[in-house]
Amino acid sequence: QFILKMAAVQSGQSETEEEKEIQPETSNDGSRTDGRPPAGSPGVPAPSPGAVKPSAPGEEETLRAVLRFLQKNNLSESVEILRREAGLPDEPEDQTGSESSGTGSGGQEAGGGVGDAGSLLSRVSAAPTPAAATVAAPPPPPSKVGAGDDRPDVNVVLSAYSQQGDPVLYDVYYSGLKKFIESVLDCHRAELSQVFYPLFVHMYLELVYNNHEAESKAFFEKFSGDQECYYADDLRILSSLSKKEHMRGNETLLDFRTSKFVLRISRDSYQLLKRHLQERQNNQIWTIIQEHLYIDIFDGMPRSKSQIDAMSGSLAGEAKRDSNKAKVFYGLLKEPEIEVPLDDEDEEVENEEGKPKKKKPKKDSLGNKSKKQDPNAPQQNRIPLPELKDSDKLDKIMNLKEATKRVRLGRDTLPSICFYSFLNAYQGLTAVDFTDDSSLIAGGYADSTVRVWSVTPKKLRRVKSAADLSLIDKESDDVLERIMDEKTASESKILHGHSGPVYGISFSPDRNYLLSCSEDGTVRLWSLQTFTCLVGYKGHNYPVWDTQFSPYGYYFISGGHDRVARLWATDHYQPLRMFAGHLADITCTRFHPNSNYVATGSSDRTIRLWDVLTGNCVRILTGHKGPIHAIAFSPNGKFMASGATDGRVLLWDIGHGIMIGDLKGHTDAIYTLKFSRDGEILASGSMDNTVRLWDAFKAFDELETDDFTATTGHIHLPENSQELLLGTYLTKATPVIHLHFTRRNLLLAAGAYNP
Amino acid sequence: MAEERRPKQCTVVVPTESMKAMAESIGVGQLQEESCVALSDEVSYRIKEIAQDALKFMHHGKRRKLTTSDIDNALKLKNVEPLYGFQSQDFIPFRFASGGGRELHFYEEKEVDLSDIINTPLPRVPLDVSLKAPKEQQKAESTEPLKVVKPGQEEDGIQNKTQGATSAESKGKDKGLRLKPRSTHELSVEQQLYYKEITEACVGSCEAKRAEALQSIATDPGLYQMLPRFSTFISEGVRVNVVQNNLALLIYLMRMVKALMDNPTLYLEKYLHELIPAVVTCIVSKQLCLRPDVDNHWALRDFAARLMAQSCKTFSTTTNNIQSRITKTFTKSWLDEKTQWTTRYGCIAGLSELGADVIKTLILPRLTIEGARIRAVMDGPVVSNIDKIGADHVQSLLLKHCASVIAKTRNPPDNVEQYRLDYGYLGPMLCSHVVKARTQAALQAQQVNRTTLTITQPRPTLTVSQSSLGGSGGPRTPSIIKVPSSLTLMSPRPGTPTQPSPPATKYIVMATSSGASSTQQVITLSSSQSGGTSTVQSATSGLQPLVKLESGGGPGLTASRPMQKYIVVSLPSSASLDGKGSGLTAISSSTAQLEAGMKLERSDSPGASTH
């Protein structure tokens, strides 16, 4: 029954998308330059996340049409006003799927001219043929014949650069603007400076595209030093581009082209810039701004430099304000009521021994939590969840029991840390995971193996072979014990199956399964009863960087080099959802504790939160300055922490979609983050061989989110990393690649000793 | 390449010469310059691209080092065949060559003969991956409630813990060992009681109890658990009592050391770092008693020196070099002009106990200088009584030890003038001593013969010993004894009769006062007290025939008795008889001072211990 439901959801989606199915999955996927076939399943409907429309499509269509008309005539202020009044979200150009509504009327808009070219471009990626016809694209040069028809969008995208001014004047234009921005009032300068980087990149690309190699080189050398240091990585890629031919295959470049760089600028600053450019007749720059940048204008005080710096850094600028407006049900699901007869007896015994008072309130609080419905929680059946099995209930009881013995952590009671070191790993350990009850550890290795250890005295045993199983008395009480083969008992088991380094690993909550994802493009499901591979999920055609089980089991998420995160159910060989939108590799994937959302971190330096039910992207969080390798949700589901190669941990309020903290301290990439079971301590582990503990309670407690901050998204972060840092614990030479809090709040860390 | 600093980013390209070289290597000659440029641009771009992709794999592999497999994976990503077999032992496997005006770096690919590979024995399989977690933590996790760390100690506490955890992983590296938690050896209640009793008896006032206690230490087989405590007890005791100049207690402690050494079930090597400083302190300390002019601290020095020699012989190895280190220590302070007579005496005693070789190489050459110094004190204006006594003791010590050595090394005739020429002030005295030694040696040879004759009937020997125990150092023995006296000095384990000691002890104490023989007397003292049944096998060459003969005559106990006899008998030989009485008083007085010293709370700096 459950499966049917999921299938229904999927097919419903596909129906609304019918026209889309004939087109390439997404522009990103379609634009690969190599000879690999585009996605393993050409016929598979690609339920693009943005495609699922909100309600009342008819009215919105009308409004959108009006908007477009206004845009066409460059009535940008009216556009803004209409948008605000109608409550329409900005057109999410970077989500190509959402443009599908426009494809029908593509021809009409294509005549829109220069001002519309930007939106056109992105539309082109979805509907290549009509657009290519209307845009004055040069015929593809002979060298490109080999490109073939499966990627026509590339040329079209690049062709936008063909309109150009005098290459020599680029220098003058840019320095002119620079001079102007440096001369404006301080309060505007910081805001306007944001324009530099995208302008610089676009101008450079235009030069390169039009074969002005010498000029482009000179331009780069002259102005690349002015850019913010956090763009260094992108600049490095950019610098290697010096020929038009290179542009075709460069993904970073395509990202830049297909998505508009988003800037948030206050109205005053924007007017200032506009006036200047119009006065100077600086059409070249104005055209770029019109075409390639998306300027999100807001009313109010211009932001300060630090505010801007906190939020910028991603590949495509900041998130639009409107993209974070959707309601997110971040509350936790109601825990099923479980009778705990055994537990009571135990507690009774403890009571008699000493603490009769302590028990009552504790029990009440536990009871309250499960009874009251959190207004922020999603409907219990918002997404279908697997039913609890008896063994799950037992586990829950165990969990509750352990929870009563849990140490309450805080500033003054820091957790003990137990470090599990992998010896003789020869730099090959790539991923680690613990089971929730901390009884098993699994490690993924660069040599394609997965190893599972038991860290309790209980050894790992295989189920007997079928022939032996048939001999067992199935009625006996200890049948579960009898089916295990004593002869296979050992402390660790090795799982062979992948054909490339294993990059992600995840235990199912019931400890029966293990997921692993690998460079070979597959995700594999292993049974921990038989220690064999059950399924290989093929869908990603490129390395899969991360995978994780849902906290309720059954579902899992994977993400990799193809920039698409996929949601799977263990009994489906095809993904249930595909979350497309990231502009670079998806480097880590995490489920929200209520399983209704997934967060993905990416090399494009953004985090996106996706709604599992609708497939929509409901949050885009920018601020990191490097690829994001770690995400953790707070146990109450309200907050999120993320860590990146820049060594910083950022804290996010999911409900408001804003950054609320920036923890500086690590000196190298952060690979793991974990909240303690009560959410009071955040532990972070890094390549710099340290575990650091942060006072999450304080970070979240001192937070005052006024309406203004919430609506504008302008955050002002206190510089309190040092106050929040509770401890730094050095290992000798072991990068910390996984952290885990046991149910009693002992912190387990793992890493490979790396002499 | 892509990792170049930013200013250079635009410019870094593969040189066109490389293009040409590569083209030639695949058989394309005469490449147009233009094509070279175009190619090099293209190649550099692609290489940068691949390097950037490879970085991704490095990051996901959680490494800091880019490996060739990362490059392979990046190539795979681009659908390019990876470079198979690019494995190298070297860090940079490129070779350099030049010629024809060109410089070239190339990757040396040798042709590999497969049969070579097949025939070579398989290399050792590398260790398998294993998981390591600190034991105690595991326990804490599984059973015990979580340990809460106090805020004050958290920085150190947990950090150490984590470090300990990670260093424990380091497979027995130095650091790991250092951080290994020290295991304490718990003593059972009985052992604690025993320890208390023993230590109290050893330093108590009851001589009988002490004798029993020392014997217990020397014989009990199950003491190894208490050994660390004993050694600490001794070293601490010496430290305290040297400061307080408590001679009696120092003697008791040295007797404990002796007893520990005698116990065949104990191996002291692990505790030498505590014992040796204590012993050396007792040898060379500037002051060991309250009244250096009266108290016989010389005996203690001699005894400790003998202990030192014994431990050198037993424990010195090429790695710890105890003997050479000790020798150096003694020599250094002996050579120092300012060294006091007491310390000087200790150094010489310590050195001479180490054997004839040491005497020959280190002491004999300095006899002249030492003689001059002694004469300065003896003949010069009387500075202080203490100095005079010290010089006197040093002189007799030198005479005693050197005479026997010279007797062996120097050929007769013994000309006094010649001796004076060779050894200065001490020459004449040495000469007479040497002469005595020679005659004694001759006598002893006879004695040996005699014993061989009498061996079938052990009675005579027994009577001799008894007579000596009786305290009437028989006048017939002296002739026999002289040589044995020096021989027993060298024997690491002096004979130890079981219990007939008390009278012997007394007798020996009397002898103590007589400078030269003091060493001997202390031996007997200790041996009688410890009363161990330690065997006599390790006797030195000089003694060996004797002992062998005796043990042949009667087993175990009887064998040791004759030994005892010789020692005792030897006493009067070198000791002046008149010293007996004063010796007795010396000891008694020193014990009397013991209490006084305790009360006095001396704030003197501890005696100079030259170790």
The answer on pLDDT for A518 being more than 90 is: yes
**Confidence at residue B122, expressed as pLDDT on a 0 to 100 scale:** 84
- Residue located via tokens 């004047």: A169
Residue B591: phi, psi to the nearest 5? -65, -35
The answer to whether the CB atoms of A250 and B49 lie below 8 A apart is: yes
Omega before residue B500 within 30° of 0, cis: no
Chains A, B: CB contacts under 8 A, how many? 207
Query: Which of B183, B178, B293, B268 is CA-nearest to residue B218?
Result: B268
For the four alpha carbons of B48, B50, B53 and B55, in that order, the dihedral sign comes to negative
**Confidence at residue B288, expressed as pLDDT on a 0 to 100 scale:** 81
Contact between residue A628 and residue A644 where contact means Cβ atoms under 8 Å apart? yes
The answer to whether the CB atoms of B127 and A585 lie below 8 A apart is: no
The answer to whether the CB atoms of B56 and A221 lie below 8 A apart is: no
Residue A695: phi, psi to the nearest 5? -80, 90
Predicted complex ipTM exceeds 0.85: no
Q: For a pLDDT cut of 70, what percent of chain B falls above it? A: 61
**Confidence at residue A151, expressed as pLDDT on a 0 to 100 scale:** 43
Contact between residue B344 and residue B369 where contact means Cβ atoms under 8 Å apart? no
Euclidean distance between CA atoms A338 and A34, whole angstroms: 54
The answer to whether the CB atoms of B166 and A419 lie below 8 A apart is: yes
- Residues A98-110 have pLDDT tens digits of 333 333 333 333 3
Mean pLDDT of B576-595: 40
Q: Minimal Cα distance from B176: which residue of A?
A: A732
| Most confidently predicted of A39-48, A356-365, A407-416, B597-606 | A407-416
Euclidean distance between CA atoms A551 and A507, whole angstroms: 10
Euclidean distance between CA atoms B143 and B127, whole angstroms: 31
Q: DSSP labels for B406-437?
A: HHHHSPSP--HHHHHHHHGGGHHHHHHHHHHH
**Confidence at residue A210, expressed as pLDDT on a 0 to 100 scale:** 82
User: Which of B5, B8, B10 best tests the A interface by mutation, with the highest count of A CBs <10 A?
Assistant: B10
Residue A552: CA atoms inside 13 Å, Cβ hemisphere, count? 21
- Residue located via tokens 């497969």: B114
Q: How many CB atoms lie within 10 A of CB A4?
A: 9
Q: For a pLDDT cut of 90, what percent of chain B falls above it? A: 1
Euclidean distance between CA atoms A193 and A172, whole angstroms: 17
Euclidean distance between CA atoms A244 and A213, whole angstroms: 9
Residue A708: phi, psi to the nearest 5? -60, -50
Least confident range from A151-155, A394-398, A737-741, B296-300: namely A151-155
Euclidean distance between CA atoms A730 and A75, whole angstroms: 59
**Confidence at residue B533, expressed as pLDDT on a 0 to 100 scale:** 38
**Confidence at residue B21, expressed as pLDDT on a 0 to 100 scale:** 80
The answer to whether the CB atoms of B77 and A241 lie below 8 A apart is: no
The answer to whether the CB atoms of B61 and A232 lie below 8 A apart is: no
Nearest chain A CA: its distance from B92 CA (Å): 19
At A326, the pLDDT band (50, 70, 90 cuts) reads confident
Q: Could you give the strand order of the β-sheet that contains A628-633, starting from the edge strand earlier in sequence?
A: A628-633, A639-644, A648-653, A658-664
The answer on pLDDT for A569 being more than 50 is: yes
- Residues A194-241 have pLDDT tens digits of 888 888 888 888 888 888 888 888 888 888 888 888 888 788 888 887
The answer on pLDDT for A686 being more than 90 is: yes
Residue A735, C-beta contacts closer than 8 angstroms, at least 6 positions apart: A671, A685, A686, A687, A688, A689, A751, A752, A754, B62
**Confidence at residue A161, expressed as pLDDT on a 0 to 100 scale:** 61
- Residues A113-145 have pLDDT tens digits of 333 333 333 333 333 333 333 333 333 333 333
Euclidean distance between CA atoms B18 and B104, whole angstroms: 8
Mapped onto helix, strand or coil, the DSSP state of residue A739 is strand
**Confidence at residue B382, expressed as pLDDT on a 0 to 100 scale:** 66
The answer on pLDDT for B581 being more than 70 is: no
**Confidence at residue A578, expressed as pLDDT on a 0 to 100 scale:** 94
Query: Chain B within 8 Å of A230 (Cβ-Cβ)?
Result: no
Q: How far is CA B511 from CA A356, B247, B483, in A?
A: 79, 17, 18
**Confidence at residue B248, expressed as pLDDT on a 0 to 100 scale:** 86
Helix axes A341-353, A356-371, angle to 10 degrees: 150
State chain B's mean pLDDT as an integer.
67
The answer to whether the CB atoms of B128 and A424 lie below 8 A apart is: yes
The answer to whether the CB atoms of A443 and B129 lie below 8 A apart is: yes
Nearest chain A CA: its distance from B82 CA (Å): 13
**Confidence at residue A707, expressed as pLDDT on a 0 to 100 scale:** 59
**Confidence at residue A70, expressed as pLDDT on a 0 to 100 scale:** 72
Euclidean distance between CA atoms A671 and A687, whole angstroms: 7
Euclidean distance between CA atoms A597 and A613, whole angstroms: 8
Mean pLDDT of B578-604: 40
- Residue located via tokens 């409550």: A87
Q: To 10 degrees, the CA torsion angle through B474, B479, B485, B487?
A: -140
User: Which of B42, B72, B129, B148 best tests the A interface by mutation, with the highest count of A CBs <10 A?
Assistant: B129
Mean pLDDT of A442-456: 91
The answer to whether the CB atoms of A416 and B161 lie below 8 A apart is: yes
**Confidence at residue B97, expressed as pLDDT on a 0 to 100 scale:** 78
Euclidean distance between CA atoms B349 and B165, whole angstroms: 51
Query: Which of A108, A121, A217 is CA-nearest to residue A161?
Result: A121
Nearest chain B CA: its distance from A517 CA (Å): 12
- Residues B101-113 have pLDDT tens digits of 777 777 777 777 8
Question: Which residues of A are less than 8 Å from B77 in CB distance?
Answer: 34, 542-543, 561
Of B61 and A299, more confident = B61
Least confident range from A614-623, B287-296, B472-481: namely B472-481
Structure token digits, residue A242: 């010096």
Q: How far is CA A210 from CA A172, A218, A247, B302, in A?
A: 18, 15, 11, 101
**Confidence at residue A432, expressed as pLDDT on a 0 to 100 scale:** 94
Residue A304, C-beta contacts closer than 8 angstroms, at least 6 positions apart: A190
Nearest chain B CA: its distance from A282 CA (Å): 28
H or E stretch covering A475: none
Residue A419: phi, psi to the nearest 5? -105, 120
The answer to whether the CB atoms of A239 and B57 lie below 8 A apart is: no
Question: Which residues of A are less than 8 Å from B138 in CB distance?
Answer: 418, 455
At A549, the pLDDT band (50, 70, 90 cuts) reads very high
Nearest chain A CA: its distance from B208 CA (Å): 56
At B224, the pLDDT band (50, 70, 90 cuts) reads confident
Q: How far is CA B107 from CA A658, B22, B45, B72, in A?
A: 53, 12, 21, 17
Query: Chain B within 8 Å of A490 (Cβ-Cβ)?
Result: no
**Confidence at residue A57, expressed as pLDDT on a 0 to 100 scale:** 53
**Closest in B10, B69, B154 to A414, CB measured:** B154
Name the amino acid, one letter, at A678: D
Q: How far is CA A195 from CA A264, A437, B287, in A?
A: 10, 50, 88
**Closest in B41, B130, B166 to A242, CB measured:** B41
The answer on pLDDT for B3 being more than 50 is: no
Of A58 and A676, more confident = A676
Of B401 and A129, more confident = B401
The answer to whether the CB atoms of A629 and B147 lie below 8 A apart is: no
Q: Minimal Cα distance from A426: which residue of B?
A: B129
Mapped onto helix, strand or coil, the DSSP state of residue B455 is coil
Question: Which residues of B are less than 8 Å from A444 in CB distance?
Answer: none
| Most confidently predicted of A373-387, A526-540, A704-718, B535-549 | A526-540
Euclidean distance between CA atoms A31 and A250, whole angstroms: 10
The answer to whether the CB atoms of A416 and B6 lie below 8 A apart is: no
The answer to whether the CB atoms of A421 and B2 lie below 8 A apart is: no
Euclidean distance between CA atoms B63 and B404, whole angstroms: 74
Q: Minimal Cα distance from A672: which residue of B?
A: B62
Question: Which residues of B are less than 8 Å from A411 in CB distance?
Answer: 151
Find the farthest-apart pair of alpha carbons in chain B and give their distance in angstroms, rounded: 119
**Closest in B9, B149, B163 to A730, CB measured:** B163
Euclidean distance between CA atoms B496 and B517, whole angstroms: 18
Question: Which residues of B are less than 8 Å from A401 in CB distance?
Answer: none
Question: Which residues of A are less than 8 Å from B168 in CB distance?
Answer: 421
Mean pLDDT of B207-233: 86
**Closest in A236, A543, A728 to B9, CB measured:** A236
State chain A's mean pLDDT as an integer.
76
Nearest chain B CA: its distance from A727 CA (Å): 7
Residue B189, C-beta contacts closer than 8 angstroms, at least 6 positions apart: none
Residue B578: phi, psi to the nearest 5? -65, -15
Nearest chain A CA: its distance from B65 CA (Å): 9
The answer on pLDDT for B568 being more than 50 is: no
The answer to whether the CB atoms of B60 and A242 lie below 8 A apart is: no
Mean pLDDT of B189-215: 87
**Confidence at residue A630, expressed as pLDDT on a 0 to 100 scale:** 94
The answer to whether the CB atoms of A744 and B145 lie below 8 A apart is: yes
The answer on pLDDT for A256 being more than 60 is: yes
> How would you classify the pairing of strands A502-507 and A513-518?
antiparallel
Query: Which of B542, B523, B570 is CA-nearest to residue B261?
Result: B523
Neighbouring-strand partners of residue A445? A429
Residue B268: phi, psi to the nearest 5? -90, -5
**Closest in A421, A492, A645 to B166, CB measured:** A421
Structure token digits, residue B325: 């280190």
Residue B246: phi, psi to the nearest 5? -95, 85
Structure token digits, residue A633: 């949700």
Q: For a pLDDT cut of 70, what percent of chain A falls above it? A: 74
Entry pTM? 0.57
Query: Chain B within 8 Å of A458 (Cβ-Cβ)?
Result: no
**Confidence at residue B551, expressed as pLDDT on a 0 to 100 scale:** 36
Residue A609: CA atoms inside 13 Å, Cβ hemisphere, count? 35
Contacts 24+ apart (CB under 8 A), A303-308: A303/A190, A303/A191, A303/A264, A303/A266, A303/A714, A304/A190, A305/A190, A305/A193, A306/A717, A307/A714, A307/A715, A307/A716, A308/A190, A308/A191, A308/A193, A308/A194
Structure token digits, residue B321: 């070099």
Which residues 523-552 on chain A approach chain B with CB closer than 8 angstroms? 542-543, 545
Which residues 115-134 on chain A approach chain B with CB closer than 8 angstroms? none
Contact between residue A728 and residue A686 where contact means Cβ atoms under 8 Å apart? no
> How would you classify the pairing of strands A747-752 and A417-423?
parallel
H or E stretch covering B106: strand B102-107
User: Which of B60, B68, B135 best tests the A interface by mutation, with the highest count of A CBs <10 A?
Assistant: B60
Question: Which residues of A are less than 8 Å from B129 in CB distance?
Answer: 422-425, 428-429, 443, 445, 451
Q: How far is CA B570 from CA A92, B474, B517, B545, B565, in A?
A: 113, 10, 8, 18, 8
Distance, C-alpha B35 to centroid of its chain: 77
Question: Which residues of A are less than 8 Å from B61 in CB distance?
Answer: 427, 430, 446, 501, 503
The answer on pLDDT for B139 being more than 50 is: no
Nearest chain B CA: its distance from A288 CA (Å): 24
At A495, the pLDDT band (50, 70, 90 cuts) reads very high
Question: Which residues of A are less than 8 Å from B58 in CB distance?
Answer: none
Mean pLDDT of B146-157: 35
**Confidence at residue B90, expressed as pLDDT on a 0 to 100 scale:** 64
Of A399 and A715, more confident = A399
The answer on pLDDT for B503 being more than 60 is: no
Which residues 703-742 on chain A approach chain B with CB closer than 8 angstroms? 727-735, 737, 742
> How would you classify the pairing of strands A440-445 and A658-664?
unpaired
**Confidence at residue A440, expressed as pLDDT on a 0 to 100 scale:** 92
Question: Which residues of A are less than 8 Å from B153 in CB distance?
Answer: none
Query: Chain B within 8 Å of A423 (Cβ-Cβ)?
Result: yes
